[in-house]
Structure 1
Amino acid sequence: MDLNIKRKSTKSVSTGSLVTTYPHDLQMYRVPPIENITLQEFETLAVDRLKLLRSLASATTLKGHRIYSDEWLQCILNDLKSEGLKYYMKLCTKSECNLSESDLQARRKDHIGHFILRLAYCRTEELRRWFIAKELELFKLRFYNMKMEAVDTFFKLNNLYYENISSEEKDKIIHFLRESTPHHQVDNMKFYKVKFNEVLDLVKFRKVYLNSGYAFIPHSDFVSVLSAQYRTHLKQSLAIASQHLSEIEQDERIVTLLKGLHLSYTGADYSIAKAVVPIESLDTLAVKSYPLCMRQLHEHLRLAHHLKHGGRLQYGLFLKGIGVTLEDSMRFWREEFTKIMDLDKFEKQYSYNVRYNYGKEGSKKNYSPFSCMKIIQSSVGPGDCHGCPFRHCDGNSLKNRLQGYNLEPQAINNIVDLAKRGHFQIACSKYFNAVHNVELDLGLNHPNEYFEASQKLLRGETKIDFNNGQSNGHNDKYATTELHDNNMEFEEEAE
C-alpha cells in the first residue's frame, strides 16, 4: 500500500480518475490507493472507518439486535448519523453506480479507510479475526442493499462470471427450489448454479437445493459465494501486510496512530465537563449514579483515606469529566488524604498529580477520563482497587459486593454470570438496570457515559416505556475503546 503522506496535499484527484477508479459503490478492495493524502485526512478516514465497524459490532453485541434485521440496520444508521458519517450512511443504504461527485468521494474515503485499518489490524491474529468478521458483515450489508442492475455491474467489474439459470431450467426444478429455499416469492427470484463447495455455509444449514455437485442459490444468498472469496482475500492481504510492518513503521508520524488505533476511543468527549458538580454531593452520587468501577474507588477512598496511583488517576479524571472543578478536586483529595498524613506531605507528593489531571502541570494537556476498554485492559496488582470490577474481581468478591448494595438476587446472578463469561460492559449495563430498577438496552462504553445516562434518568429526561423497558430519550454512543496516550507521563509518586 502506497500512502505517501504529506502535511499539505501535493496533488488532488480529478473527477475523471475517480470515475475510473471507483465505478461502483461496493468494492472487493483488491487494489490499494496510490494517491497523496494529508496526515490529518489519514487519521480522520481511519477513525471514520473504525466508528463504522464498531457500530456493526455494537448493534449486535451491546444492543442485542439480530444481525441484518431492519432494527440492526436502523441502529447502525442512527449511530452513523449521530457521528456525522453521512457518506457511510449512503454506502450502507444503497449500492449503485452513480457517478456524482458526492458518490465518488464517498467511495474514495471508503477505499482509503479500509486499507488504513488493514495496517492497524494486521498485527495479531486476534485483531485480524475481528477486522475480517466486521468487514464481512459490512460487505454483506451493502450487497443486500444492491439493486439487480448494480449486482450485474458488480459481477462484470470484478470478473465474476456467474449467470442465472434459464427460465426453462428453473421451471424443471421449481418444486425443489420452493422446498429448499427459505425465502418467499421463490418464483420471482433469480437463481445461480455454482459448485457446492463455494457455498458450504449454506449447505451446512440446508438452505440450498443440491443436484449433481451443484448448488442452486437465489440472488439474496449469492453473497455467500462472494463473502467466501472476500474472506480468503482479506486473510491473505492481512498476512502480507503484517510481514511489511517494519517498513511501514519507519514513518514516525503514523506509527503511533496505527499501533493504538484498535484501542482508540471514538465516542463522546468527556475531557470538558458539561456542568459543575460540588464535592459535597459525591457521596450521594456514588450510590445513585456511579458505575461500579468508580463507586468502589470512592468507597475505598472514604474508608482508607488513600488511593494508589492507578486509582487516583482513574478516579481523578472521572471526577474531572463529571464536572468537579480543579479547586474542588484539590480540596476533596486534600481533605481525605490529610486524615492519615500531614498537609506538607500531601502538597509535596500528591497535589502535583491533581493539577496534572487538569492540564496545569507537565505537558499541560487536557487529558480525557478513561473509557471502559482502557479500564478493562489496565494492569491491577495486589492492593489496587482500580480497574474494572467485572473483570478484575473474582466471582465471589463481585457477588458479595453486589449483595452489599441490596440488589435483587436474580439481577446479581445475571451480572456475575455475564462477568464470568467475559461480557464486562454488558454486565455493567445490567448493573445500571439493577441500581435504577429499569430495563434499558444501554450500550455503555465509558464511565462518564454511565454517569450521564443515570443523571438523565433521575432528572426525568429519559422517557421509559415500562411495558418494554426501552428508552426513547437517550442517544447512546457505541464506541468501544480509548486511545492509550503514549505521552501521558504521570509520575509514579509515593504510594
Structure 2
Amino acid sequence: MRQKPKASGSFTNAGSVEQHSNLKYPTRLNFYDRPPIEDITLEEFETCALDRLRVLAEIESSFARNRPWDELKKVTSTQCENHGLKLHASTAYTEDLDGQRRRDHVGHFVLRLAFCRSEELRRRFVKAELTLFRVRYEEDGIVDKDVFHRSSKFDWEEASDEELAQYKSQLAAAAASSSHTHATSSTSHTAEETYYKVRWTRVPDLVEKRKVFLKHGMAFVPRREISSIVLQEFQTRLEKALEMTAKALPRLDEDTRIIPILDNLSQGFLAGVSSEWGNTTSSGDGSEVTADMVDDIARKHYPACMRNLHDCLRRDRHLKHFGRLQYGLFLKVLGLSIDEAILFWRKSFSNIQDDKFNKEYRYNIRHSFGLEGKRANYAAKSCQQILLADQPGTSDNHGCPYRHFAPENLQTALLSMYSSQGLTSADLPEIMHTVKNGHYHVACTRVFEITHSRQVSKGEGIGGGESVTHPNQYVTKSRELEVKAQVKDEDIVMG
C-alpha cells in the first residue's frame, strides 16, 4: 500500500490553522463569489478600482507585447507593488492582511460593474483577471493553497488505490507526455502521486496536451497539475458572474454618482490609467523650464503627440483651440511658469499683432493656469483623454498620431521625428502591428524603448515594464534617463 501525501485541505501545523481562522479573508486567493456588503465610501469605491485597473491594464499591455510568462509575471508583481495590490501571505503576521484583501475585494467588484457591459469588455476583463489570479496562485505557499482548496469546494474526488493500480500504465503514459515529468521517471512518480477525478470538461487544456488519463468522462488529474482545475474554475465562475452582473446593471442607471465613474473605468484598457502626471509640475531634473528650453526638450524628449503639435506650431506659427489646450496644459505640467508660458506663446504666434494676442490668447493662457475664470487648476490630458475626447478634424493637429494619423502618414512622421534618436524603418512593422490592433500606448512605449535603447532594454517600457499612459510621464522619464546618462558619463571621465 502506497504512502499517501497529505490531502489538499490539510495544514502543516496548528499555528497556521489559528492564523487562517482569525482572518475575515483566510487566504489572499479569492474567487470573489460574495460581494462586499459593508459600507464603502465613494472615494474608496473609485480609488480601489483605479489602482486595480492600472495593474490589469499593464497585464493587457503585456499580452499585446507578447511578453513571455516569466516576464509578464515579474511585471505584474511589480505593478501590484507599485499600486497597493500586493497581498502578503497569511504568515506575514505584522501586515494588515484583512485590509489588503478587502481593498482587493472591493476593487474587483467595482471593475466587474464597469466591464460587464459588453461581450468584448467581459472577455478582456476575464483574461486580465485570470492572469492576475494565476500570478498570485503560483506565488502562494503550500499552506495558503491548501486552505484555499478546502474553502472553495472544488468537488474533486481522490482516486482510490485500486483505480491507480488498475490504470497504472495509462497514468504512466500520461505522465510521460507531461512537460513537467521526464519519461524515465514517470512510472515511479505515478506510484507516489495523488490523483483527483473531475469531469474532463473542467480541464480542457490538460486534455488537449494529453497530460491526463480519461475514463468514462472523468479526467485523472495529478496533484502537480491541479492548478489547471483551479484556473478553469476561476474563469468559469467569473464569466457567469459577469453575465449576471450585466443583467442587474440597469438598476444602477439612476445613480448619478456611480455611472460616470463606471463609464470612465470601462475605457481603462484603451490606454492604461495615468496616476500622478495630470497635475504634478515636474521638469525632470528639478529645474524650471523656460520658453527658450522648449525647442531642445521637444527635439529630444517629446512623445509623438506633443512633438507633432510643437512642429506644427513652429511651421504654421499657430495652433487651433484644442491644439493649444492640449499642448498648453502639457507645457504647464512640464514646468513652464505662467510668465514663461505667455512668453513662449507670444514668440510662437509671431505673425499676430500684440493687441490681437493680448485680447484673444493671453486670457486663455492665464485661464489654463487657474488665474482667470473659475480659477480651476486644470490637469494635463492623459493618453486616454487624448484618444477619446475632442476628436480631431482634417485641419486639426491635436489628438494621438498613433490613432488619428493614416498608416502611411504615421510612418513618415515617426521617421521624421525619431530617426536621429535611433528609430529606423526596420522598427516600423512591429510598431504598426500594435497600432493596427488598437494598442496605441503600447506603440508609443515601444518608440520610447527604441529611442532610449542605451538606458532601456526591450520590454522594460519606461521602467519596470510600465507602459506610457501620459505625455508628461513620457517626457519626464526621458529627461530623467538623460540626467542619469550624463552622470554616468561624468563618472567614467573622472574615474
TM over 0.5: yes
2:27 paired with 1:28? no
The one-letter amino acid of 1:448's match is N
**Counterparts of 1:147 and 1:31 in 2: how far apart (Å)?**
24
Match of 2:399 in 1: 387
Structure 2: unaligned runs, 5 residues or longer: 1-18, 462-466, 489-495
**Counterparts of 1:381 and 1:371 in 2: how far apart (Å)?**
20
Match of 1:132 in 2: 126
**Counterparts of 2:446 and 2:54 in 1: how far apart (Å)?**
24
Match of 2:41 in 1: 38
Contact 1:408 1:434 in 2 (8 A): no
**Counterparts of 1:127 and 1:47 in 2: how far apart (Å)?**
16
Contact 1:80 1:89 in 2 (8 A): yes
Instruction: For residue 125 of structure 2, give the secondary structure of its aligned residue in structure 1.
Output: helix
Aligned-residue offset at 1:277: 1.0
The one-letter amino acid of 2:299's match is V
Q: Map 1:482-493; keep pairs closer than 5 Å.
A: none
CA gap of 1:229–1:329, structure 2 versus 1, over 3 A, is: same
2:96 paired with 1:102? yes
Which of these residues, 442, 449, 454, is aligned with residue 426 of structure 1? 442
Match of 1:306 in 2: 318
The one-letter amino acid of 2:424's match is E
Q: Map 1:5-404; keep pairs closer than 5 Å.
A: 19=22, 21-61=24-64, 65-67=67-69, 69=70, 71-83=71-83, 85=84, 88-91=85-88, 94=89, 102-166=96-160, 169-170=163-164, 172-173=168-169, 174-184=171-181, 187=189, 189-263=193-267, 265-275=273-283, 276-339=288-351, 341-378=352-389, 379-404=391-416
Aligned-residue offset at 1:202: 2.3
Which stretch has the larger CA shift, 300-309 or 418-427?
A: 418-427
The one-letter amino acid of 1:422's match is G
Aligned-residue offset at 1:294: 0.8
TM-score by length of 2: 0.79
Contact 1:271 1:369 in 2 (8 A): yes
2:449 paired with 1:447? no
**Counterparts of 2:46 and 2:415 in 1: how far apart (Å)?**
45
The one-letter amino acid of 2:246's match is S
CA gap of 1:416–1:45, structure 2 versus 1, over 3 A, is: closer
Aligned-residue offset at 1:99: 8.7
**Counterparts of 2:23 and 2:341 in 1: how far apart (Å)?**
58
Contact 1:201 1:224 in 2 (8 A): yes
Which stretch has the larger CA shift, 262-271 or 135-144?
A: 262-271
Q: Which has the larger radius of gyration?
A: 2
**Counterparts of 1:373 and 1:207 in 2: how far apart (Å)?**
43
**Counterparts of 1:78 and 1:285 in 2: how far apart (Å)?**
30
Instruction: For residue 306 of structure 1, give the secondary structure of its aligned residue in structure 2.
Output: coil
Which stretch has the larger CA shift, 185-194 or 133-142?
A: 185-194
Structure 1: unaligned runs, 5 residues or longer: 1-15, 465-495
Aligned-residue offset at 1:168: 5.8
**Counterparts of 1:355 and 1:218 in 2: how far apart (Å)?**
68
CA gap of 1:452–1:251, structure 2 versus 1, over 3 A, is: same
Which stretch has the larger CA shift, 265-274 or 98-107?
A: 98-107
CA gap of 1:282–1:267, structure 2 versus 1, over 3 A, is: same
Contact 1:140 1:227 in 2 (8 A): yes
TM-score by length of 1: 0.79
Instruction: For residue 196 of structure 2, give the secondary structure of its aligned residue in structure 1.
Output: strand
Contact 2:277 2:472 in 1 (8 A): no
Runs of 4+ that moved beyond 6 A: 97-101
CA gap of 1:434–1:59, structure 2 versus 1, over 3 A, is: closer
**Counterparts of 1:125 and 1:357 in 2: how far apart (Å)?**
40
Aligned length: 439
Which stretch has the larger CA shift, 319-328 or 121-130?
A: 121-130
Instruction: For residue 214 of structure 2, give the secondary structure of its aligned residue in structure 1.
Output: strand
Aligned-residue offset at 1:401: 2.3
**Counterparts of 1:189 and 1:130 in 2: how far apart (Å)?**
36
Matched-pair identity in %: 35
The one-letter amino acid of 1:320's match is K
Contact 1:181 1:209 in 2 (8 A): no
CA gap of 1:370–1:165, structure 2 versus 1, over 3 A, is: same
CA gap of 1:24–1:330, structure 2 versus 1, over 3 A, is: same
The one-letter amino acid of 2:115's match is Y
Residues 307-351 of structure 1 show CA distances to partners (whole Å, capped at 9, x for unaligned) of 122211211111112111111112222232251x33333333333
Instruction: For residue 250 of structure 1, give the secondary structure of its aligned residue in structure 2.
Output: coil
CA gap of 1:51–1:427, structure 2 versus 1, over 3 A, is: closer
Contact 2:403 2:440 in 1 (8 A): yes
Contact 1:338 1:346 in 2 (8 A): no
